């Protein structure tokens, strides 16, 4: 009995110890919960902090990148603008230089051409024994000292391989004004074929005009033209005046 009781007590003690073990486990559980409880807020705070940092970086990085991109775009735009200005300046400078060179070339060619024509004019003058003829630009001119009517004057010119002068520019008209005095000279203009249709002896129409005020006014009675320093007038073809022949080179 005593042995049995001892066993019983032993069992009770064991059960008691076993009953206290869960208590120990509970205490351990509580400690774990306390540890977890103490650990949880720290980890949660760290997570929130990392999240906030990530969120801040995710919002700040695009702003920084955008600002950098905008700055780069402005720099590229400024560089392109400067290049455009430089290119435009270079084009203008080259254009001016080319125009200047072109003008100088034209002037040189014109001078060489004039010199060539003048030399050629002199050679023709000597070869054809045209004493008294004057070289001017691309033509030879003869200013008579005699007096003839329009038809006779033209005949004289054609016999020399020339014709009465055809005036096609103000420069050529100024050349005629060098005739001494205000003497009228026959020129190769008339309306003999068709009244009031003035044509040069080569059949071309009048492009340059130097009519004196109120001229022409002779109608059917005045069909040939005299040139004065003050302008052209129509006149009777049978009257005698000086004349000017022109021979193209």
DSSP for the chain, please give it.
-HHHHHHHHHHHHHHHHHHHHHHHHHHHHHHHHHHHHHHHHHHHHHHHHHHHHHHHHHHHHHHHHHHHHHHHHHHHHHHHHHHHHHHHHHHHHHHHHHHHHHHHHHHHHHHHHHHHHHHHHHHHHHHTT-TTEEEETTEEEEE-SS-B-HHHHHHHHHHTT-EE----SHHHHHHHTTSSSS--EEEEEE-SSSTT--EETTSPBP-S--BPTT----GGG--EEEEETTEEEEE-TTS-BEEEEEEE-
> pLDDT band at residue 23, thresholds of 50, 70 and 90?
very low
Higher pLDDT, 13 or 54: 54
Token pair of 18 as six digits: 């076993």
Exposed e or buried b for every residue in 94-125, given b needs 16+ CB within 10 A?
eeeeeeeeeeeeeeeeeeeeeeebeeebeebb
Give 153-162 pLDDT, tens digit per residue. 999 999 999 9
Q: How far apart are CA 184 and CA 232, in angstroms?
A: 9
The whole-model pTM stands at: 0.54
Q: Is 226 exposed, middle or buried (0-12, 13-18, 19+ CB in 10 A)?
A: buried
Q: ∠ CA(217), CA(180), CA(187), 5° rounding?
A: 40
Give 202-242 pLDDT, tens digit per residue. 999 899 999 999 999 988 899 999 999 899 999 999 999 99
Mean pLDDT across the chain:
74
What percentage of the chain has pLDDT greater than the value 90?
35
Closest by Cα among 246, 202, 196 to 223: 196
Give 115-171 pLDDT, tens digit per residue. 555 667 777 777 777 778 988 888 899 999 899 999 999 999 999 999 999 999 999
CATH code of 135-248, in short, is 3.10.100.10
């Amino acid at each position: 009995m005593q042995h049995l009781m001892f066993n019983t007590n032993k069992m009770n003690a064991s059960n008691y110890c076993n009953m206290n073990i869960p208590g120990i486990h509970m205490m351990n559980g509580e400690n774990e919960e306390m540890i977890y409880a103490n650990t949880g807020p720290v980890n949660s705070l760290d997570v929130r902090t990392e999240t906030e940092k990530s969120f801040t970086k995710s919002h700040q990085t695009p702003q920084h990148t955008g600002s950098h991109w905008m700055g780069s775009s402005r720099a590229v735009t400024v560089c392109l603008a400067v290049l455009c200005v430089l290119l435009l300046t270079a084009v203008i400078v080259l254009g001016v230089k080319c125009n200047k060179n072109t003008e100088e070339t034209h002037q040189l060619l014109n001078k060489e051409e004039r010199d060539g024509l003048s030399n050629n004019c002199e050679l023709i003058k000597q070869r054809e024994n045209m004493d008294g003829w004057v070289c001017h630009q691309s033509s030879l001119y003869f200013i008579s000292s005699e007096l003839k009517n329009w038809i006779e004057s033209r005949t004289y010119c054609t016999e020399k391989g020339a014709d009465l002068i055809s005036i096609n520019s103000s420069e050529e008209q100024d050349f005629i004004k060098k005739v001494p005095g205000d003497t009228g000279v026959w020129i190769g203009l008339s309306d003999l074929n068709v009244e009031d249709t003035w044509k040069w002896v080569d059949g071309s129409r009048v492009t340059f005009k130097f009519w004196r005020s109120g001229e022409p006014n002779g109608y059917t009675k005045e069909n040939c033209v005299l040139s004065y320093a003050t302008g052209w007038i129509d006149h009777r073809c049978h009257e005698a005046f000086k004349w000017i022949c022109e021979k193209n080179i």
